[in-house]
Amino acid sequence: MKLLLLSNSASTGARYLEHAVPLIGKTLSPGQQVVFIPFAGVVQSWDAYTDKVRDALSDLKLDIVGVHTLADPLAAIATADAVMVGGGNTFNLLRECRLRGLLKAIPAAVRNGAFYVGWSAGANLACPTIRTTNDMPIVDPGGLDALNLFPVQINPHFTNALPAGHQGETREQRIRELLALAPELEVIGLPEGNWIERHDDQAWAYGPHPTLLFKAGEPALTLAADYPLI
């Protein structure tokens, strides 16, 4: 099983998916078939979203097709070299994937060798549930269970910073609320610019910023580079 789970799609001063290009290029070769899942896109069309990703990854010369354009998406996913899932609204992403039967098709393909790449909402979708998304529930996804390709909950875009004068909770406080109700869970706070790679039964976090691990009743743990996530 090969997973690349990115906190975000772009960083300040960088092009869209710029930091992801070399990471994806380590696994995929020119001409390989990629099915892109654009359903987290709400304020842009799925065609435009697919074109944006295709353009951002053009140097890799991959054959990227939007799943929404396919006559038989389940068959295409089953034979794809990679499945990519973009960021946006996690609730809409999960709803559309559930309606189309992709919540079974994607894990089956990944366990059969397809490379899973997800950023932001796409990283959340790889978790057991989407309970650690930052997004508003703008639609009812029919349940919060997700792909369960990665056994630990991820909070992408993690930061504890609050704007001056803001009276809301920090991100850690929100995560602590979840852990108070579900103490069996663990949550990875994945800052922008960081990512997780899984290769079969091993996974590590990478990137320029500290990645945190939250457990119920314990202080946040700053993960060392060699800390095993699973």
Residues belonging to the active site = 120, 135, 157
Q: Are 89 and 121 in contact (CB under 8 A)?
A: yes
Residue 47, φ and ψ in degrees, nearest 5: -65, -45
Nearest to 140 by CA among 182, 103, 177, 99: 99
Spatial separation of the C-alpha atoms in residues 153 and 156, rounded to whole Å: 10
Taken in order 50, 131, 123, 125, is the CA torsion positive or negative?
Answer: negative
Two tokens, residue 162: 């609050």
Spatial separation of the C-alpha atoms in residues 86 and 84, rounded to whole Å: 7
User: β-strand 153-156 against 186-190: which pairing, if any?
Assistant: parallel
